[in-house]
Amino acid sequence: MKTNRLNANDADFVPRLMALTAWSEERDEEVGERVRGILRDVAGRGDAAVVEYTNRFDRRDAASMADLTVERAQLEAALERLPAEQRQALEAAAERVSDYHARQKQDSWHYRDAHGTLLGQQVTPLDRAGIYVPGGKAAYPSSVLMNALPARVAGVAEIVMVSPAPDGELNDMVLAAAAVAGVERFFTLGGAQAVGALAFGTETVPAVDKIVGPGNIYVAEAKRQVFGKVGIDMIAGPSEILVVCDGKTDPDWIAMDLFSQAEHDEEAQSILVSPDADFLARVEEAMERLAPTLERETVIRTSMANRGALIQVDDLDQAMEVVNRVCPEHLELSLDDAEVWAKKVRHAGAIFLGRHTPEALGDYCAGPNHVLPTSATSRFSSPLGVYDFQKRSSLIGCSPEGASELGKIASVLSRAESLTAHARSAEMRIKKPL
Amino acid sequence: MKTNRLNANDADFVPRLMALTAWSEERDEEVGERVRGILRDVAGRGDAAVVEYTNRFDRRDAASMADLTVERAQLEAALERLPAEQRQALEAAAERVSDYHARQKQDSWHYRDAHGTLLGQQVTPLDRAGIYVPGGKAAYPSSVLMNALPARVAGVAEIVMVSPAPDGELNDMVLAAAAVAGVERFFTLGGAQAVGALAFGTETVPAVDKIVGPGNIYVAEAKRQVFGKVGIDMIAGPSEILVVCDGKTDPDWIAMDLFSQAEHDEEAQSILVSPDADFLARVEEAMERLAPTLERETVIRTSMANRGALIQVDDLDQAMEVVNRVCPEHLELSLDDAEVWAKKVRHAGAIFLGRHTPEALGDYCAGPNHVLPTSATSRFSSPLGVYDFQKRSSLIGCSPEGASELGKIASVLSRAESLTAHARSAEMRIKKPL
């Protein structure tokens, strides 16, 4: 199998590794300009603009937004007609994802200091969340669950989902997943026009407070442009996996784990790190043998050749250095004592512990979210979670004594900053000596 | 005092209120282009470019980055030479802010399901944070504490601070605050070149994982442009306060609380909401009487005239409707049972409870952060906090039984998505019947 071979002791290892894993978002001035135009139009003309763009880009023939609205009853109907096995799998996955996310929910808290002053934070859900789900070929019901369920668990009052239906085609399982996830409103919209409708609101589409979910370059650019007016999640890059294996896992398992990432698209990245040169060779042999058995062999071969790598290290400590340099979206620790080794991981989206935890289980049903920071952004960001649909307000309630004591400190500091009204406002609460 | 007068029962109340509180970030294509050029240059030429831009924009005469580097010993020296009263106030504020923020720190967690599968999140600090602190006239030591201390509490290994020193002028109290807040590296850099240095790193300035702190339009645009490469905090708009008062607080106190916001700049917004028409008149009289006693009278009069408002409501329930429409950065509930009323607040950056809690105490020393979501972004964002300097990695560790059971669900769902390698990877872990 054609892929990149690196040794962590090579003189040029670090620059080669960095070049291989580097990814910078393609941003195109022309795309930026087109998106700006669409957003301006949707903000100004509402439904009329949204219908026009949708008819044009998705080859639809809608007379009004009514034709682009999917009623809750249609979602339920899609769920009803799903084969029993698929419905059960969807509901079992939703239950596990909800259970896990319930543990992320944050509560309001407060305490009182020695002066009786109350300090804390009040935690509240967003009023309304918008979920963007790609349509057409890459319509993934699992993405509906992973984006909508954290909002549901957070207590978001209304979840508005948009998903394009090119040529009017809708994926039944996506509709069913929306039913399971408790989506209240569903519009068959996509592209920048869908993002604009969610951000600004139209006569039909309610304006939301935050937009999450993956999309193409137009969707990503539109999310960037409306950021600030509404919240957005991270802009995702290609998906990646890094597997660290001690050489004692079945090479077929590891080969298929690498493929499960490589099959996504040509830009996906699969890296195996091992101290066992012989094991690397056996995985390579397994990859060559297994690739022809897969529908997406061509995509797999392309992504393994361009962005894949087999990396030999001296030992597992050196492997962990590679991990913390790459900061992978998915990290599989296929080795003994994985829980102990995990504590050495400083940056990763999700850590899969042990030989029995392939990434695919996390993608669908283990419980944690599959929306994860890519392209080394795990250095500063986290998996999508309930915390993305909650926000906090600081609480400060001074007792008269507390205000008097704090007023003295605030007076000195605000006068040092030449903010006299701040100082006077604080000083008015200082108790006068009797 | 010239300001806007509204009554919540007026037919045009909502559109007038929305127009008054609307604020959209000024974005200028020319600024965008200039910033893009500076960032490109800093990424390509490092220190040399940073020194050049700094000499030009800040009227410095630096030969190298050494001339733009402030050593930790200089920070300590600034703290040593501070008047005792200022030093004590700074240290008391830092202690309270640290104590409060320590309660925000999140810990790793995990649990095991019925099959013995481990599920959880590992919480880790960022490796390195960059703090931007404006220099010159608006150099605020309190901002140093509020930006750096949450990073310190989170356990960030290295805090890199930049603050411009136009004409070489440095504010001693800003240096002292950096010493108190545990800043490791300090460079006298500002503008887009400072943001570029932090985002890309140079020979001297280490690349950071996240950049926080306020700045002018060039700084805000630069942060937008590096977003994704590094994390950033929200782009802040003008500061705002909304005071709800039942009419029983000293009108002078309320007038000064409104002024403490209005004195920031001409764009700042101060709004008073009360069911008591007579009280609104008394506060207005107090404002007229107190304004001439303040250094920043002109700024105060401008912001009150342009963006300030006195709003009459029928009752406190209607006042809360106004609050949840405006979603203010600072909300003062100057009334009885403020803790009860606070529960009706859905969106606010910080809530100041009762008559003895002027915003100024929160700005300096109460404990909560003074970096708060402005321009109604409290609908989806939170005060700066320790959570902004921590991130999470999902943990999944399947037992062989767990993997087998989850594999069956993942197999059905991944095959429905035509991702066969995902399915095979999961199926390999399903136990074979004996």
CATH number of the domain to which A185 belongs: 3.40.50.1980
CA A73 to chain CA centroid, nearest Å: 28
Reading the block at residue A70, the tokens are 């999917």
Closest by CA position to B260, among listed A346, A427, A104: A427
**Distance between CA A112 and CA A397 in Å, rounded?**
9
Q: Which residues contact A117 (CB under 8 A, 6 or more apart)?
A: A396, A397, A398, A399, A402, A403, A406, B366
* Contact between chains at A356 and B402 (C-beta distance less than 8 A): yes
Q: Are A364 and B320 in contact (CB under 8 A)?
A: no
* Number of compact structural domains in chain B: 3
* Contact between chains at A421 and B263 (C-beta distance less than 8 A): yes
Unique residue bearing structure tokens 């000596």: A433
Query: Of B232, B261, B283, at which residue does a domain stop?
Result: B232
Give the single-character DSSP code of B227. Answer: B
Q: Is residue B158 part of a domain?
A: yes
Unique residue bearing structure tokens 């700094």: B54
A218/A348 same-domain check:
no
* Contact between chains at B117 and A366 (C-beta distance less than 8 A): yes
B17/B150 same-domain check:
no
Tell me, what's the pLDDT at A29?
79
Q: Which residues of A touch B348 (CB under 8 A)?
A: 393
Closest by CA position to A187, among listed A167, A170, A172: A170
B292/B227 same-domain check:
no
Active site residue B110: no
Where would I find the H helices in B327-358? 338-342
Which active-site residues of A does the annotation give?
329-330
Nearest to A127 among B252, B379, B426 (CB): B379
Where would I find the H helices in A103-210? 141-154, 172-181, 191-200
Query: Of A344, A366, A388, at which residue does a domain stop?
Result: A366
Closest by CA position to B213, among listed B299, B124, B142, B126: B142
Q: Letter for the amino acid at B144?
A: V
- The helix (H) or strand (E) run that includes residue A390 is strand A390-397
CA distance A315 to chain B (A): 22
What stretches in chain B show pLDDT beneath 70? Answer: 25-26, 137-138, 434
Closest by CA position to B425, among listed A346, A330, A23, A175: A330
Tell me, what's the pLDDT at B26?
66
* Contact between chains at A356 and B416 (C-beta distance less than 8 A): no
Among chain B residues, CA nearest to A207: B379
CA distance A266 to chain B (A): 14
Q: Is residue A75 part of a domain?
A: yes
Q: Is B127 annotated as contributing to ligand binding?
A: no
For chain A, the straight-line distance linking the first and the last C-alpha, in angstroms and rounded, comes to 87
**Distance between CA A310 and CA A270 in Å, rounded?**
9
Unique residue bearing structure tokens 């009360």: B274
* Contact between chains at A429 and B356 (C-beta distance less than 8 A): yes
CA A34 to chain CA centroid, nearest Å: 25
Domain that holds residue A311: 4-23+237-366
Q: What is the DSSP string of A276-302?
A: -HHHHHHHHHHHHHHGGGSTTHHHHHH
Q: What's the Cα-to-Cα distance from A236 to each of A106, A215, A240, A375, rounded to whole Å? A: 25, 9, 11, 8
Q: Is residue B118 part of a domain?
A: no
Q: Letter for the amino acid at B34?
A: R
Q: Which residues contact A425 (CB under 8 A, 6 or more apart)?
A: B253, B256, B257, B259, B260, B358, B359, B360
A205/A63 same-domain check:
yes
Nearest to A420 among B294, B378, B403 (CB): B294
B221/B79 same-domain check:
yes
Tell me, what's the pLDDT at A32?
87
* Contact between chains at A119 and B100 (C-beta distance less than 8 A): yes
Q: Is residue A282 part of a domain?
A: yes
Among chain A residues, CA nearest to B300: A421
**Distance between CA B26 and CA A358 in Å, rounded?**
48
| Composition of chain B by helix, strand, coil, percent to 5 | 50, 15, 35
Reading the block at residue B349, the tokens are 């950056």
A50/A69 same-domain check:
yes
Tell me, what's the pLDDT at B228?
87
Q: Is B336 annotated as contributing to ligand binding?
A: no
What stretches in chain A show pLDDT beneath 50? Answer: none
Query: Of A316, A350, A366, at which residue does a domain stop?
Result: A366
Tell me, what's the pLDDT at A26?
66
Nearest to B393 among A24, A228, A378 (CB): A378
- Exposed, middle or buried by CB within 10 Å (0-12, 13-18, 19+), for B297? middle
Q: Are B220 and B25 in contact (CB under 8 A)?
A: yes
B169/B296 same-domain check:
no
Q: What are phi and psi of A231, to 5 degrees?
A: -80, 155
Q: Is B381 annotated as contributing to ligand binding?
A: no
Residue A306: CB atoms within 10 A of its CB come to 15
Residue A411: CB atoms within 10 A of its CB come to 21
Q: Letter for the amino acid at A233?
A: D
B43/B149 same-domain check:
yes
B188/B256 same-domain check:
no
A122-A125-A126 Cα angle (round to 5): 125
A·B CB contacts under 8 A: 372
CA distance B138 to chain A (A): 8
Q: Is residue B109 part of a domain?
A: no
Q: Which residues of B touch A408 (CB under 8 A)?
A: 89
Q: Are B150 and B386 in contact (CB under 8 A)?
A: yes
Nearest to B140 among A141, A359, A417 (CB): A417
Half-sphere exposure of residue B274, counting CA atoms within 13 Å on the CB side? Answer: 24
Q: Is residue A344 part of a domain?
A: yes
* Contact between chains at A400 and B356 (C-beta distance less than 8 A): yes
Catalytic residue among B329, B332, B359, B405: B329
Q: Is residue B115 part of a domain?
A: no
Nearest to B396 among A256, A361, A385 (CB): A361
A228/A95 same-domain check:
yes
Q: Is residue B261 part of a domain?
A: yes
Q: Which residues contact B129 (CB under 8 A, 6 or more apart)?
A: B151, B156, B158, B159, B160, B208, B209, B210, B211, B212, B389
**Interface pTM, i.e. ipTM:** 0.96
B269/B216 same-domain check:
no
A91/A156 same-domain check:
yes
Q: What are phi and psi of A311, to 5 degrees?
A: -120, 125
CA A19 to chain CA centroid, nearest Å: 24
**Distance between CA A330 and CA B5 in Å, rounded?**
56
Where would I find the H helices in B22-123? 29-45, 47-57, 72-80, 84-102
Q: What are phi and psi of B32, to 5 degrees?
A: -55, -45
Q: Are B241 and B103 in contact (CB under 8 A)?
A: no
